[in-house]
Each structure stands twice: as C-alpha cells, then as structure tokens.
Amino acid sequence: MKTHVKKGDQVQIITGGVAIKGKTGTVLAVNAKKGTVIVGGTRTVVKATRKSEANPDGGLLAQDAPVSISNVKKLG
C-alpha cells in the first residue's frame, strides 16, 4: 500500500475522539501493510507490564498507539 506520509513528517489528526482530534505531531513509524502510523504524543495508552529482566520494576508503561493512516493529514 502506498502511503502519503513517511517517518519524520509533521501530521495532524483529522478524525477521531475528542482527545486526539486536531492534535499535531511527528510520525515515529509507518506500517504500510496494516495502514497505520504512530504519531508521537497524540494517542498514548497505558500498558500494564509484568516484572522481567528487561523491566525489573514492572508496573504501568505509557506507549504511543497507532492511528489509521487515513485519519492523518500531512502538514507543510
């Protein structure tokens, strides 16, 4: 699937819930196969993680969640 945005582009979210609609940010990753992009600082979700060697404390971890590529508009 051809995409209109790439990593590093400034984009605005044009549709979605009240919490993310209208927010702007930089594209961190593009998944053309799934048709999604990860925009930094726009859609953050909290994941609960178990203790492991990589994360000895465990607990809550905030991550940027993907947004459909059709819901973003390239700026500039």
Indicate the SS3 state at residue 27.
Answer: strand
Q: 31 is written with which tokens?
A: 């998944």
CA distance 41 to 60: 17
- pLDDT tens figures, 17-72: 898 999 999 999 999 999 999 999 899 999 999 999 988 999 999 999 999 999 99
Going from N- to C-terminal start, the domains of the chain cover 10-74
In this prediction, residue 1 has a pLDDT band, given cuts at 50, 70 and 90, of confident
Distance of CA 28 to the CA centre of its chain: 7
pTM of the shown model: 0.82
Q: Whose CA is closest to 8, among 33, 35, 40?
A: 40
Indicate the SS3 state at residue 71.
Answer: helix
Beta bridge partners of 13: 72
